[in-house]
């Protein structure tokens, strides 16, 4: 039964390119070994095939669940071709298998066709194929393992010229292990969706299995000479759909992410707009109409808004679209675009990217660093935002109007890079100081941006004031109330300064650093 050249075991779900490859293997002297549908396909092409059951002496059982899981198959693959292994092979009449061609049940493609019950999903999990690939890849010095139809042609050519070296064999083995690793991770991710796994003690796992697939090749990275792509978790669709405009760039996605997360701070019952530039809000507002919210957000810093990303929390309507026609916007993201507004904006510019957003639920934030990956739960603390949970620490309490501004500014400052200061009047920002190395400089920047609008405004600080100087600068500009986490060693000095200057101050007890 065993040919001089050994056997080539073929068991593929994806039969693309199978016949030409099998024909070449046959011409090279390999005995073709197969089962099930693969054997039928080869026979239909008039190729001689040995059934796996002929080698094992055992029929397929359990409805095809067990075919190749047998010592006479895996022994033929795992033999190291040493005298000791050869003696075992001869004793048990185990044929040598020199080529293994396997790709796995289409777990992914079948799942993506629609809803699949758990029982159906379990039947799509390939057991024998994974075992064959792993065995062949482990023994790559003696066995050629092929899992990708794209490799058939060059592998056949190399075999015909006897030029398949160890480096190429090792690359094929690595590809096989990659294939099985991704496959197992897909299954794990899918089964987890049927219910929570683990004891729920922590949302940050001890070990992470993450399968990412390229969802989009981007125009470029942070700079034009850098390549970039968007990857998403397998099986999770991108929650944003581009309706118009040029391809997205790396920076577009970063700013879109910042803008969309920020606008989600506000209940969709009232229109809200956030304008982001270089990862930071430069304007945000809540108003009675979306158009008014946009105009107020733009007024916060109309210079910085040039070339910005704009996010809205309600369907984009015609008045707002009309108002936006005068500003150069890179990306506009909305939960929906009303037809007339969409047509109007599409006529504005090919450069304007219009993106429709779907539901997003971010539980864990990930970032890369030189050492690896950083993970943290999303900053959803302080969600209640009820003023009764905050502590008025000055002699003067905020007025009702100031309370409105403080609550609004506190939501916005959470999305500004630290050190972060937000000045607001009512439910609109008037000045933002972002990403400064000292908090007092962030205050100076915010009041400079606000100009005369700082008079009577309120201020939110993402972290405590380490010194009274920030409050002094704010009060000199006319700021009347401050919300901050508190917790500094100099809180007493800061509070005394606020009392001396007539500034109301509220402690929240919650910090909102964003780096």
Residue 444 makes CB contacts below 8 A (sequence gap 6+) with 433, 473
Q: What are phi and psi of 332, to 5 degrees?
A: -120, 120
Task: Decide: residue 187, CB within 10 A, 0-12 exposed, 13-18 middle, 19+ buried.
Answer: buried
Query: Distance between CA atoms of 455 and 480, rounded to whole angstroms?
Result: 8
Distance from CA of residue 427 to its chain's centroid?
Answer: 32
Strands (E), 208-352: 212-217, 229-233, 240-244, 272-277, 280-286, 308-312, 329-334
Catalytic residue among 278, 363, 414, 489: 278
Q: Are strands 353-357 and 329-334 parallel, antiparallel or unpaired?
A: parallel
Catalytic residue among 15, 138, 175, 246: 138
> What are the Cα distances from residue 261, in Å, to 143, 228, 275, 341, 411?
51, 22, 12, 23, 11
Angle CA 250–254–257, to nearest 5: 135
Q: Check if 386 is active-site.
A: no
Q: Is 301:424 a contact under the CB 8 Å cutoff?
A: no
Q: Is 506:481 a contact under the CB 8 Å cutoff?
A: yes
Q: Check if 480 is active-site.
A: no
Element (H, E) at 167: helix 166-192
Query: Distance between CA atoms of 486 and 505, rounded to whole angstroms?
Result: 10
Of 404, 403, 402, 440, residue with least CA distance to 421: 440
Element (H, E) at 423: strand 421-425
Tokens of 219: 């125009």
Query: Distance between CA atoms of 70 and 82, rounded to whole angstroms?
Result: 21
| Residues belonging to the active site | 138, 278
């Amino acid at each position: 039964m065993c040919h001089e050249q050994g056997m080539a075991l073929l068991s593929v779900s994806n039969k693309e390119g199978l016949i030409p490859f099998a024909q070449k293997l046959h011409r090279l002297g390999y005995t073709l070994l197969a089962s099930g549908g693969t054997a039928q396909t080869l026979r239909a092409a008039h190729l001689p095939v040995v059934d796996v059951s002929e080698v094992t002496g055992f029929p397929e059982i359990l409805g095809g669940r067990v075919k190749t899981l047998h010592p006479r198959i895996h022994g033929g693959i795992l033999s190291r071709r040493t005298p000791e292994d050869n003696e075992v092979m001869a004793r048990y009449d185990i044929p040598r298998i020199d080529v293994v061609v396997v790709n796995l049940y289409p777990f992914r493609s079948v799942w993506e066709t629609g809803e699949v019950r758990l029982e159906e999903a379990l039947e799509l999990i390939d057991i024998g194929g994974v075992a064959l690939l792993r065995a062949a890849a482990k023994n790559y010095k003696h066995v050629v393992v092929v899992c990708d139809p794209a490799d058939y042609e060059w592998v056949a050519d190399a075999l015909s010229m006897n030029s398949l070296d160890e480096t190429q064999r090792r690359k094929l083995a690595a590809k096989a292990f990659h294939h099985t690793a991704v496959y197992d991770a897909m299954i794990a991710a899918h089964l987890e969706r049927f219910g929570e796994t683990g004891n729920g003690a922590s949302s940050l796992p001890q070990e992470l299995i993450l399968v990412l697939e390229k969802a989009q090749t981007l125009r470029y990275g942070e700079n034009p000479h850098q390549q970039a792509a968007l990857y998403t978790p397998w099986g999770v669709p991108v929650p944003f759909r581009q309706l118009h405009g040029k391809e997205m760039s790396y920076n577009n996605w970063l700013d879109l992410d910042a803008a969309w997360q920020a606008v989600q701070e506000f209940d969709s019952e009232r229109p809200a707009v956030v304008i982001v530039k270089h990862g930071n809000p430069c304007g945000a507002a809540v108003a009675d109409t979306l158009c008014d919210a946009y105009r107020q957000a733009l007024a916060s810093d109309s210079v910085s808004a040039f070339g910005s990303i704009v996010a809205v929390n309600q369907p984009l309507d015609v008045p707002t679209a009309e108002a936006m026609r005068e500003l150069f916007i890179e990306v506009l993201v909305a939960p929906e675009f009303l037809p007339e507004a969409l047509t109007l904006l599409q006529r504005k510019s090919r450069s304007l990217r219009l993106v429709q957003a779907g539901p997003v639920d971010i539980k864990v934030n990930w970032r890369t660093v030189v050492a690896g990956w950083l993970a943290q739960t999303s900053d959803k603390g302080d969600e209640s935002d009820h003023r009764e949970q905050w502590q008025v620490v000055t002699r003067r309490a905020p007025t009702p109007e100031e309370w409105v501004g403080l609550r609004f500014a506190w939501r916005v400052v959470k999305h500004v890079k630290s050190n972060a200061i937000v000045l607001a009047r009512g439910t609109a920002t008037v000045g933002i100081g972002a990403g400064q190395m000292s908090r007092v400089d962030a205050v100076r920047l915010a009041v400079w941006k606000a100009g005369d609008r700082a008079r009577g405004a309120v201020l939110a600080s993402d972290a405590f004031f380490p010194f009274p100087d920030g409050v002094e600068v704010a009060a000199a500009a006319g700021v009347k109330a401050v919300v901050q986490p508190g917790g500094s060693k100099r809180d007493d000095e800061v509070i005394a300064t606020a009392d001396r200057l007539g500034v109301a101050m509220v402690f929240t007890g919650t910090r909102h650093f964003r780096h």
